[in-house]
Amino acid sequence: MKARNPRTGEEDYEFAVTSREEIASEAARLRAAQPAWEAMGPEGRAAVMMRFAAVIEAAAPSIAAALSVDTGRQAVSRIEVQGCAGNIRGWAAKAPALFASLPSEVEQSFTPGVEIVPAYSAYPLFGAICPWNFPVILSHIDAVPALMAGCAALVKPSEITPRFVEPMREVLAQVPELPLAYIMGGPEVGQALIEEVDYVCFTGSTATGRKVAEAAARQLIPANLELGGKDPMIITASADPEWAAGVALRSSIVATGQACQSIERIYVARDIAEPFLAKLVENAQAVEITYPDPSSGHLGPFIFSPQGAKVQAHIDDAKAKGARVLSGGQIEELGGGTYLRPTILADVTTEMAVMREETFGPVLPVTIFDDIEDAIAQANDTEYGLSAAVLAGSMEEAARIGSRLEAGAISLQDGAMTSMVGDAANESRKASGLGPSRMGNSGLLRFLRRQSLIQQTGQAITIDAYAEGARG
């Protein structure tokens, strides 16, 4: 397969697709290695994972360089690699205590003379199907806790952003004890992965997530899905409008808005709407795209060029239905890349696609409200429930409103914090996901299967107890 450079528009990278036979062989190799890996115990695995993090840090320049070509962004690529190593270190430090906290005491059964001893074992082979928007972080966000739980891990990165795999395979060669492997290709490789693993995690669109869930159901394996979002932000009358404008802009446009936790709908109280919008437009117009110099500016190109066309279609639909464009609003094709400056839309309505569907771009549709109850109802009026945010004059006010929003994680006095806070457990609502939280303790514990050792300490009954006419 070939991969496209999002800055030049050229298909300048080629990689080998992993065949069905190679996938089966890799899965068999990992399964064979998994028992010894699990037998190392959490402390032993943590020591190996710490070495894994150190080798990643040593190779960070080459990993980030490959990643920056695939994504068209440099600073975020460096942050991603650093974040991946930090995630590994965090789970390695936390896992031993998590295992120690698991219930281990003998339980007395309701059945007389019977005791129950809890035991735990990891799913042998974990699989991940990963997206293109944060290729390094999201290819490891589930695999790392799975490995720390004792699983072997088979990961399929996105075929849109494959270049980082080459330096990462060089990293893995330096940590041979680690039962982790990457397989490459399109949807057919993802399907093959599901047929080989015992537990699958998917990050991506809701439409594709449904297909993954159906395929996993046919295999009778758990599917953990982190899907799309249409995250709202409520800004109350007591909030400082200039501060709110800065938070709202950053929360919406980082990584060119190509993040599931980006703020995609803004509801601002009428009392501060005018100064808020004025400052929001001012801030937006100060944002620079990273063209022609990729080392200067804030917003890179769309990684996946068809996404730019989808975002433009949302903007055009909103304009046709009466929305006003206060800044941005038009895709720019520059040097083969597809760019969009921060786009602020006013006078939006719920009939517009930009208010109903995931946009996944640097677009900020703003709705003015008069009543906080109406704002909460509008924020909850969506098929999604990934995350949300509230900005108010006090934390207490923000918390009161935030607790009523139908989403898994609510940022208070900030926005899109799930991209920065990895230990806050949350479970997506509605069409935004399925299964336990990937954050918090459950991020690891979901990969352990509970086993009960049922001990008969009395006299085992004989077949005569079931004889017809036997006394009860």
> Please, where are the H alpha helices in 228-304?
241-253, 270-286
**Contact partners, residue 142, CB within 8 Å, separation at least 6:** 126, 128, 201, 203, 224, 438, 443
Q: How far apart are CA 168 and CA 178, in angstroms?
A: 13
Residue 125, SS3 per DSSP: strand
Q: How far apart are CA 138 and CA 299, in angstroms?
A: 20
Q: How far is CA 433 from CA 260, 304, 325, 470, in A?
A: 11, 23, 32, 53
Maximum alpha-carbon separation in the chain: 91
Q: Is the peptide bond before 118 cis (omega within 30 degrees of 0)?
A: no
- Going by C-alpha positions, the residue among 271, 211, 219, 213 that lies closest to residue 244 is 271
User: Are the C-beta atoms of residues 150 and 449 closer than 8 Å to each other?
Assistant: no
- Going by C-alpha positions, the residue among 127, 151, 147 that lies closest to residue 202 is 127
Q: How far apart are CA 220 and CA 198, in angstroms?
A: 9
How is residue 139 written in tokens? 């290819």
- Going by C-alpha positions, the residue among 50, 63, 135 that lies closest to residue 94 is 50
Entry field: residues in the chain = 472
- Going by C-alpha positions, the residue among 86, 13, 178, 160 that lies closest to residue 169 is 178
Catalytic residue from among 159, 196, 226, 427: 226
- Going by C-alpha positions, the residue among 101, 53, 43, 45 that lies closest to residue 441 is 101
Rg (alpha carbons) of the chain, rounded to whole number = 25
Q: How far apart are CA 189 and CA 52, in angstroms?
A: 26
How is residue 275 written in tokens? 């100064």
Place of tokens 């080798």: 55
How is residue 91 written in tokens? 């789970």
Q: Report CA torsion sign: 211, 215, 220, 223.
A: negative
Q: How far apart are CA 295 and CA 293, in angstroms?
A: 5
Active site residue 226: yes
DSSP assignment, residue 446?
Answer: T
How is residue 425 written in tokens? 């457990």
The catalytic residues are 226
